Amino acid sequence: MFRRRLTAMVCSVAALGLLATGCGGTDNGGSAAEKKTGEVTFWSFVKGSDKVAEAFNRTHPDIKVNFETVPSGQEYYSKLSNAVKAGTVPDVAVVEYPQLPEFATQGKLESLDGTLGPLVDKRFPQSTRKLVQLGGKTWGVPRDAAPLMLYYRNDFFKTHKIDVPKTWAEYRNMTERVKKADPKARGGVLYTDNPGLLSALTWQAGSQWFSTKKDAWKVSLDDAPSRKVADFWGDLARKDLVSSLSSLDPFWTSVQQNRTVAYVCASWCAGAQQATVADQKGKWAVAPVPTWDGKPASAMYGGSSFVVPKGAKNSGAAAEFIKWITTDPVGMKAWVSSGTSSMFPADPELVPVTKSAFPTDYFGGQDVYAVGSKSYDAVVPGWTWGPVMGTTNTAIIDQLPKVAEGNVKLSDVLTGAQKATVKDIQHRGMTLAP
């Protein structure tokens, strides 16, 4: 009988358990760091990471990279953070620019001054260097830049005779015309779950949320340019001229269903757009992001760098690997070998490499990378991310959906985030500039 057999089985299992525990508790066998020289563990969620690791291993017989895929988002950063605490870090890890200062100020990264510092000095433009060099040290190596662009439905704009906006005033005009032409369609999005685009737009307007003065952080989330941008977008959202959506499924559904016919995004959106909404091929085009005064100005939304976490066991080989995947043409090519990534290299010399791998037919043959290059050149220098971005971002995200509901002003959201940020910086013992 089933019952009897179960009982017998369970009892023997119980006896086994008793035996095992009687003999001295839980086992402590397992991996005791038997690391061979030349092995590099590599954590990343970035598309193409597996291909890059493979390509590196093929061309570098002396080093073996073990790629481990990780989820993206806040969960990943807490995982990495805990790994540092526990001493179980990988040798190389991806960290997006906004998160980098927080890791650095918590002592969770190895300084790269002695290894890759000179390379960073040599290969990257100043505005990008500023994202990975903080407090006089180099903490990471940039992989991609994420300059802003305007994406729009060429067919929709043509049919309804809407001009592509060059300034933000024209952009507002455009959103009104889009809504008039099709009551369901909108000419933009204010993401409700992601403050990255909002910060990029304030960056473009000349704001500097964070800066360092000698030995102190200066926080100005609600400076004048920031407020200007917040008032502009808050108004668009409240008047329902742009939609308020989460940046994931709801956003892409709205694109697929022709409800979003224009939006501001970074260069990487070209690839994402093409992969996610494949059947709208030929209908989309890109343009420079609108500016306040009509003169070129841009900023970055996203982008990632590679770091060596504190406690990495093979930082020498790790540096070698990072160098190859960020500044070597062959390495760069491996990132985009799948053909659907519009990754824009942070190293301007490598743009031709990724450009040649990106098919342009989705955008009707348009030179997406040329638009990207111009935008990259126009990135307003001086921006740096802050040391408590988790707190800053959460403070913004928690209020963002209320802006469209009309309950909260977007500029007040930034003021609230300012307060939360200052409080957290003080709590962690860092100095604040007056």
Partner 1 sequence: MASLSARAQRRTAAMLLAPFFVLFSAVTVAPLLYAGWMSLFTTRTSGLGFGGTEEVFAGLDNYVRALSDPAFRDGFITIAAYVAIYIPVMIGGALALALLLDSALVKARAFFQLALFLPHAVPGLIAALIWVYLYTPGLSPVIGFLSAGGLDISFLSADNAVFSAANIAVWEWIGYNMVIFYAALQAVPGETLDAAKIDGAGGIRTALSIKVPMIRPAIALSVLFTVIGSVQLFTEPKVIYSASSSIGSSWTPNMYVQAAAFTHNDFGLAAAASLLIALFAAVLSFLVTRFSRSRSQA
Partner 2 sequence: MTKTTTLSAPAPTAAAPDRKSRSRPTGRSPRSPRKRSSALLSKTGVTAMLGLAALYTLLPMLWLVLSSTKSRKDLFATNGFAPGKDFALFDNLSHLFQVDNGIYLRWLANTVLYAGVGALLATVFSVAAGYAFDKLAFPGKEKLFSFVLLGVMVPGTAMAIPLYLIAAKAGLVNTFWGVFVPGLVFPFGVYLARVFSAAYVPNEVLEAARMDGAGEFKAFCRIAFPMLAPAFVTIFLFQFTQIWNSFFLPLVMLSDKHLYPVNLGLYVWYSSALSQGHPQDYLLAVVGSLVSVAPLIVLFLMLQRYWKSGMTAGAVK
Instruction: Scan for tokens 């390509």, then name that residue.
Output: 55
Taking the CA atoms of 188, 193, 197 and 200 in sequence, report the sign of the dihedral they define: positive
Instruction: Scan for tokens 């952009």, then name that residue.
Output: 171
Under a CB-based contact definition with an 8 Å cutoff, are residues 103 and 95 in contact?
A: yes
377 makes contact with partner 1 (CB under 8 A): no
Among 253, 258, 276, 360, binds partner 1 (CB under 8 A): 253
13 makes contact with partner 2 (CB under 8 A): yes
Half-sphere exposure of 352 (CA within 13 A, CB side): 2
Instruction: Scan for tokens 């909404």, then name that residue.
Output: 277
98 makes contact with partner 2 (CB under 8 A): no
Under a CB-based contact definition with an 8 Å cutoff, are residues 351 and 336 in contact?
A: no
- Find the shortest distance in angstroms from Cβ 195 to partner 1: 10
Stretch that binds partner 2, among 215-223, 264-272, 307-315, 391-399 (CB under 8 A): 264-272
Among 5, 26, 86, 295, binds partner 1 (CB under 8 A): 26
Under a CB-based contact definition with an 8 Å cutoff, are residues 261 and 156 in contact?
A: yes
303 makes contact with partner 2 (CB under 8 A): no
Which has the closest alpha carbon to 92: 123, 114, 124, 116? 116
337 makes contact with partner 2 (CB under 8 A): no
Pairing of strands 64-69, 92-96: unpaired
Among 34, 62, 215, 279, binds partner 1 (CB under 8 A): 215
Q: How is residue 81 written in tokens? A: 């953070």
Stretch that binds partner 2, among 10-18, 101-109, 154-162, 286-294 (CB under 8 A): 10-18
309 makes contact with partner 1 (CB under 8 A): no
208 makes contact with partner 1 (CB under 8 A): no
Binding mask 77-106 for partner 1 (x = CB under 8 A): xx--x--------------------x-xxx
Q: Which amino acid is at 121?
A: D
Among 64, 130, 137, 239, binds partner 1 (CB under 8 A): 137
Contacts of 210 (CB under 8 A, 6+ apart): 101, 217, 218, 219, 220, 384, 385, 386, 387
113 makes contact with partner 1 (CB under 8 A): no
In angstroms, the CA 133 to CA 119 distance is 12
282 makes contact with partner 2 (CB under 8 A): no
424 makes contact with partner 1 (CB under 8 A): yes
- Find the shortest distance in angstroms from Cβ 189 to partner 2: 14
Pairing of strands 148-153, 284-288: antiparallel
Q: b/e for 179-194, b at 16 or more Cβ within 10 A?
A: bebeeebbbbbbbbeb
135 makes contact with partner 1 (CB under 8 A): yes
Among 107, 161, 295, 434, binds partner 1 (CB under 8 A): 107
Among 19, 22, 26, 36, binds partner 2 (CB under 8 A): 26
Edge-first strand listing for the sheet containing 39-44: 64-69, 39-44, 92-96, 304-307, 141-142
Among 56, 103, 191, 268, binds partner 2 (CB under 8 A): 268
Q: Which amino acid is at 256?
A: Q
402 makes contact with partner 1 (CB under 8 A): yes
Under a CB-based contact definition with an 8 Å cutoff, are residues 214 and 371 in contact?
A: no
Which residues contribute to the site for partner 2 (CB under 8 A)? 2-4, 6-7, 10-11, 13-14, 17, 26-33, 43, 45-47, 68-73, 75, 78-79, 82-83, 85-88, 90, 247-249, 252-253, 255-257, 268, 271-272, 275-279, 340-341
Which residues contribute to the site for partner 1 (CB under 8 A)? 14, 17-18, 20-22, 25-26, 74-75, 77-78, 81, 102, 104-107, 134-137, 192-193, 212, 215-217, 243, 245-246, 249-250, 253-254, 259, 387-388, 390-391, 393-394, 397-402, 405, 424, 427-431
